[in-house]
Amino acid sequence: MTMSSSIGLETPRFHIGQHDSKRDVPLTDLQYGYLLNQGVGCNQEPTSTRTGSQADPIIPPLTPDDTALFPSPTVNTYTAYISPWIDLCSTNPLIANISRQVLNLEINYANFCGVRSIIIAAPSRDASESGGSQALTQYSRAVQEALVIGSALTILVHMPMYREPPTGQEVDETLSSIEEKRPTPLASKEIDLFAAWASWHHVRSACSYNLRLYVGMFLEPFRDPNASHGQLIIANSALQIPRMMPEKDLQTRWFAEPLHYLTMGPEVFQTNKSGFPTLSKHHQEMIFSYMKLKARPWILLCDVGPDASKFNAEDSSIFPVADRPEMTEDNFPSLADAAHIVTNESGRPGVDAHMEYLEWLESQQPPLTALESPTLTSFQDWLQSPLQPLSDNLESATYEVFEGDPVKYDQYEAAVIEALSEWKELGLPTSKQGAVVIAVAGSGRGPLVTRALKAAEYAGVKVEVWAVEKNPNAYVYLLRQNEMLWGGRVNVIKTDMRAWKGPIVSQSPDGPVYGRVDILISELLGSFGDNELSPECLDGIQHVVAKPHGISIPHSYTAHMSPISTPKVYGDILARSATEPTAFDTPWVVRLYALDFVCQRVPGRARFQQAWEFSHPIPESTLANIDARRSGGTMGGGGGSMAGAAGANDHNSRYCHVTFVCRSQGVTHGLAGYFESTLYEPKLESRRGQKVEISTHPERIDQKSKDMISWFPIFFPLKVRLMAFVCIPSAGSTARLTNGNIGADLVPSRHRTRSKYVAANRRHQSVSAGAERYIVTAHGDAQCAMRSEPLGCKREALIDIEMHKAVKLVPENAGCASAPSAAASGGSRRPGWPGAGERRDREPPTSRAETQQPDKRGVLRGARNRPTSHTHRRQQTAKMSSQPSHPALMIPGPIEFDDAVLQSMAHYSESHVGPGFVSTFGDTLSMLRKLFQTTDPASQPFVINGSGTLGWDMVAVNLVEPGENALVLSTGYFGDGFADCLAAYGAKVTKITGPVGSRPQPDEIEKALKEKKYKIITATHVDTSTGVLFDLKSLTDVVKRVSPDTLIVADGVCSVACEEIAFDEWGLDAVITAGQKAIGCPTGLHISMFSGRAIDAVQNRKTEPATYFASMRRWIPIMQNYEAKKPSYFSTPSPQLIRALNAAVSQILTRPLSERFQRHIEVSNKVKKAVADLGLGVVAAKPEDQAHAMTAIYLPDSVSISDILPKLLNKGIIFAGGLHKEIGTKYIRFGHMGPSAMDPERNDVDNALKALRESLTESGYKA
């Protein structure tokens, strides 16, 4: 597969930076631009230059001789590197002191200059080495001070993945090199794989998980741990890369860390027989996994890739990204395949071979799965606060998001089908004669009701359906659904499910007679199964379930958990705890992604272990006990905890004690919780074991409910981290194991032997969720035994977890949550949608795949944009919640905006070459392909600052050379204008003009094409001056038959996004448009799509286009780079307008385009019928000539434009006057496109028609 053929696949993008260890001065603007155009998006700059002089113990301030870094407009795009010759870990107090002073000076100066990211070399020794503990303490204190001094800096600690054994290569000199050389100890055959990670953990723990502290990881050998003291290898190391990646446990350990850079030097790349650089499959898999992170790390090329210092603008052998030859798998065979390939000298790699390889590797990533979509990726590791699920009524937009998970509802439908089929096969009695009675408890907007009706139809079973919902607003919607969708077949009840007495079967003098329910359906499950009070709510409605055959869907559910390490989530909670005392007492709903399961799979000790189970219906004896305790009956009269209603919910309390095995050192930040549910378990012997299930269990979700996205895991944080240390066999050393409990203290281990320690500590941590309280007890018996192994040492530790689910009585008047309402606490809600009353402590993440990107100050960090789902945007449109009252703009463009489009422009100012904007721009260009209906990778979308008129210029100056023929088909003012533009650039224009209100006919067009050869033919798809629609499909058929070499150009300013345009199918060569019409974003963007044939015509011109700004030769590589999400520059785009376009097109593509076109047709027919009922005519008289996004209306002779428009304005409606030169004073123009047409809850069109009738009446006209 070629790179260009993969455009349609959605894969993550690589963000590639470069570090030149020999660079001692900042890049010039020309050199920086060169690297940008090569695809390098970030560069490192030295904070100061090297010096060979011995420093004084008191270091003076920096001078211009010490550094070439100064404040500049681009300095905030640099990532600085602290001088590599300092040694913060030195055991020599003088060297350590000087190193700290230099560090602080450089941090302070970089902060002053405006640098926002700075790299510090890793500690030169680990705790496992002699003197390593003291060295790490020194280093950590220095980094802690640097975070205080550089208050606006993001600090990156450059760590190796693991430390290699000595290989004898030359190492860089540090200050410690001035000491007398000491004998090198004998090399050890043992490798402590986790030593480097342990050093990083020491540093970030000492810095209290500071959110500005990141790690940059080397993919190459880093340091000889047995070299003489102080010798350090940094980014310009020449050591050989290890040919084998470390064990998976270490890889996942680093995966969980806040990684900023993956550094790759020359040794990382292996060279195949053809001379091309390659990475091993293991390296590729690791990179691919990191690219699925929300905060994707940069790939930092160290001493490889384009050399800016040797850049020559006249060198034709250096290609920008867009002009490079197409790369395929043949260029980058694997090392095994390359051994059998005959070397082709002409195919040798060039100077940019590493960039070419990485770009090719980027194209080889597997497409994102449903669970890796940009929307879900944006919620990785983002904390969502649970709600009180019994007290909230959700909004329609939130319900709509829940309903977007087809997997869950498919499984529910399958469960109902199985239940009904078995009911029929077993011949069970029903609660109503001839019909199975189904109740949906907590119906929300009715998705389960719809599925229950479908299941009954499929199974061939007659049913009676009851929908029970407490939300008064959802109740209204259910009534409407019953009328419009269900045909009145559903009985809708507004009540708390626990207060419902059952279906009404008859009336008596004493009141209604209530029946029973055969199948009870609910979706009250939370992320931990029971944490949304599903047991309590279902207990409360069980009295309506028929005995003994009544069925509950779900039938049962189990909770599962596993200890995890998740530094980012823990750091966020730790930061919150400063102002939020309950942060560690809250079970958070999180899309856990950057995590490490610290426990391994061993026989008898699963990685994920079950906590408890609930089943429904509960036994009748238990139900009787509940009733007795609630009523204060014989069972409840003994006083104490059993008095009154106390103890009525005790049957729902649970306790578990599970033990996990950890075989390598690590840290546990909390427990990840998951659930599994059996929706229905067959009763027939022939179907035993064929359960219908759903699951969030990481190891079983693919088997039971693949791609289900309704629930995120739950996270129980441990206030004090549970740490299993490496045991260091040296006198006086201790291992400390702590637990996750409020107020827990570190307890020293008891020394057993020099190589084995045992530590135990127990405390309790109480975590509340609604009416439930989870009490977590964590304690450890860590047995750390070290043995020599080929790749490290084995370590084993036992982690014991005790969890107690304490419950309290749920008041009857608490208002039990409906399904989505229960979900609102975060358990079963879709990402990012809080229910009413939820306190949002932090802005949710961006709805797109997020990368680490510079904020408005240039710091590389994750974006913080609030996501706006497509469904929510449509809901906002109806409410007009953020727009002040204003007249409805019903002209043929600009048009009314959707709220989401307006909000998108409120984004903070950002760089036009920053990763955040580049990603958004790239996504927008890709979506435009879907809007124009093209999948041809040779076609190219353009988005350039300007109006629709700029499109005329681009066509006229690029596609047609002076003296060439152009045929213009005009249906009004804008067709005439296109002809004038072409003539202005030297084209020989022939114009065919249709009668007013009509269009040129096919025979006229065919005749003209036969008379001479035309370079292009243009047609205005919808001329806004007349409302005439051109039949582009018929036009392309004629042109391809008569003059196939002629390029077909459509002016689609008033047709894109409201009239069908099948770019590929019809064979169009160019469609030009603008954002302010049916697309629905503000004026200021030219938008177009050009075919590969048109692009070839531009590239093969004989003369240079007579323009600078509109030259497509300049814009093509820029657009290609942006679409590939590579920063590029020719003219500064508008980030705010691009974000508005992104929001608008995202909305459009939430529905099939065919639905959008049909809706515009329906609205158009409605308008034209209303106009005809008024006795008025339209300019486009024939139905086949009438546009569907606007109507040009002839006024009565007695009414003038100057009379009617002010009257319409007084009624809150704005129409446009006439524009055609022949009839301009006789008609007005009514635009009905975009949100005004698409949103059924908006009354813009109806209000406009009403205002028109009233204004005509006020003007003396009688219909």
Convert the pLDDT of each residue in 483-523 to its tens digit. 989 999 999 999 999 999 999 988 888 888 999 999 999 99
Domain containing 27 — which CATH number?
3.20.20.150
Q: Is the pLDDT of residue 876 over 70?
A: no
Q: Is the pLDDT of residue 94 over 90?
A: no
Report helix, strand or coil for 1143: helix
pLDDT tens for each residue of 1162-1199: 999 999 999 999 999 999 999 999 999 999 999 999 99
Given this model, what pLDDT does residue 727 score? 33
Q: Is the pLDDT of residue 853 over 60?
A: no
Give the number of other Cβ atoms within 10 Å of residue 52's Cβ: 6
User: 372 pLDDT band (50/70/90 cuts)?
Assistant: confident
What average pLDDT does range 899-924 have in this prediction? 86
In a domain, 905, yes or no: no
Report helix, strand or coil for 902: helix
Q: Is the pLDDT of residue 1139 over 50?
A: yes
Contact indicator for 518, 423 with CB cutoff of 8 Å = yes
Same domain, 473 and 614: yes
Which residues are 767's β-sheet partners? 774
Contact indicator for 311, 29 with CB cutoff of 8 Å = no
Same domain, 134 and 275: yes
Same domain, 425 and 292: no
What average pLDDT does range 158-173 have in this prediction? 63
User: 172 pLDDT band (50/70/90 cuts)?
Assistant: low
In a domain, 741, yes or no: no
Domain containing 704 — which CATH number?
3.40.50.150
Phi (first) and psi of residue 23, to 5 degrees? -75, 125
Q: Is the pLDDT of residue 817 over 70?
A: no
Q: Is the pLDDT of residue 665 over 80?
A: no
Given this model, what pLDDT does residue 703 score? 92
Given this model, what pLDDT does residue 67 score? 84
* Separation between Cα atoms, residue 146 and residue 117, nearest integer Å: 12
DSSP labels, 332-350: S--HHHHTTSPP-GGG---
In a domain, 570, yes or no: yes
**In terms of pLDDT, which residue wins out, 134 or 1148?**
1148
Q: Is the pLDDT of residue 974 over 80?
A: yes
Residue that finishes a domain, picked among 697, 715, 733: 715
What is the torsional sign of CA 591, 593, 596, 597? positive
- The residue range of the domain holding 277 is 12-38+77-161+193-221+233-306
Residue that finishes a domain, picked among 306, 324, 347: 306
**Among 147-156, 816-825, 1213-1222, where is mean pLDDT lowest?**
816-825
Given this model, what pLDDT does residue 791 score? 28
Same domain, 128 and 268: yes
Number of domains in the chain: 3
pLDDT tens for each residue of 564-603: 999 999 999 998 888 888 888 888 999 898 888 988 777 7
CA–CA distance from 602 to each of 366, 606, 608, 1261 (Å)? 31, 6, 11, 88
Q: Is the pLDDT of residue 1048 over 70?
A: yes
User: 217 pLDDT band (50/70/90 cuts)?
Assistant: low
Report helix, strand or coil for 955: helix
Q: Is the pLDDT of residue 323 over 60?
A: no
Q: Is the pLDDT of residue 171 over 80?
A: no
In a domain, 1146, yes or no: no
CA–CA distance from 712 to each of 397, 673, 825, 844 (Å)? 19, 9, 11, 15
Same domain, 432 and 300: no
Report helix, strand or coil for 641: helix
Q: Which two tokens stand for residue 707?
A: 């791609």
Given this model, what pLDDT does residue 52 score? 43
Given this model, what pLDDT does residue 823 score? 35
Q: Of 191, 102, 116, give the one whose Cα is nearest residue 152.
A: 116
What average pLDDT does range 196-207 have in this prediction? 88
Contact indicator for 437, 444 with CB cutoff of 8 Å = no
Q: Is the pLDDT of residue 258 over 60?
A: yes
pLDDT tens for each residue of 917-939: 998 899 999 999 999 999 999 99
Contact indicator for 911, 857 with CB cutoff of 8 Å = no
* Separation between Cα atoms, residue 691 and residue 681, nearest integer Å: 5
Domain containing 1212 — which CATH number?
3.90.1150.10
Q: Which two tokens stand for residue 562?
A: 């596993």
Q: Is the pLDDT of residue 558 over 90?
A: yes
Q: Is the pLDDT of residue 633 over 80?
A: no
Which residues are 47's β-sheet partners? none
Q: Which two tokens stand for residue 551?
A: 């069925």
Phi-psi region for residue 216, left (φ > 0), alpha (ψ -120 to 50) or beta?
beta
What average pLDDT does range 63-70 have in this prediction? 85
User: 841 pLDDT band (50/70/90 cuts)?
Assistant: very low
Q: Is the pLDDT of residue 729 over 90?
A: no
User: 324 pLDDT band (50/70/90 cuts)?
Assistant: low
Given this model, what pLDDT does residue 1138 score? 95
User: 397 pLDDT band (50/70/90 cuts)?
Assistant: confident
Q: Is the pLDDT of residue 1237 over 50?
A: yes
Same domain, 269 and 400: no
Residue that finishes a domain, picked among 277, 306, 335: 306
Q: Please give the share of the chain, as a percent, with pLDDT higher than 70.
A: 73
Given this model, what pLDDT does residue 963 score? 96
Given this model, what pLDDT does residue 788 score? 25
Same domain, 261 and 407: no
Same domain, 405 and 302: no
What is the torsional sign of CA 618, 623, 625, 630? positive
Q: Is the pLDDT of residue 861 over 50?
A: no
pLDDT tens for each residue of 1006-1032: 999 999 999 999 999 999 999 999 999
Contact indicator for 741, 620 with CB cutoff of 8 Å = no
Q: Please give the share of the chain, as a percent, with pLDDT higher than 90.
A: 42
In a domain, 763, yes or no: no
Same domain, 110 and 241: yes
* Separation between Cα atoms, residue 1006 and residue 377, nearest integer Å: 53
In a domain, 602, yes or no: yes
Q: Is the pLDDT of residue 843 over 90?
A: no
Phi (first) and psi of residue 764, to 5 degrees? -115, 140
Please state, rounded to an integer, the average pLDDT across all residues of the chain. Answer: 78
What average pLDDT does range 785-811 have in this prediction? 48
Q: Is the pLDDT of residue 58 over 50?
A: yes
Amino acid (one-letter) located at 1169: K
Give the number of other Cβ atoms within 10 Å of residue 248's Cβ: 10
Given this model, what pLDDT does residue 756 score? 26
Amino acid (one-letter) located at 488: G
Given this model, what pLDDT does residue 632 score? 55
**Among 5-14, 76-85, 652-661, 1075-1084, where is mean pLDDT lowest?**
5-14
User: 320 pLDDT band (50/70/90 cuts)?
Assistant: low
pLDDT tens for each residue of 459-482: 999 999 999 999 999 999 999 999
* Separation between Cα atoms, residue 196 and residue 224, nearest integer Å: 12
In a domain, 960, yes or no: no
Given this model, what pLDDT does residue 739 score? 32
Q: Which two tokens stand for residue 685?
A: 């012997």
In a domain, 899, yes or no: no
Same domain, 410 and 515: yes
Contact indicator for 611, 400 with CB cutoff of 8 Å = no
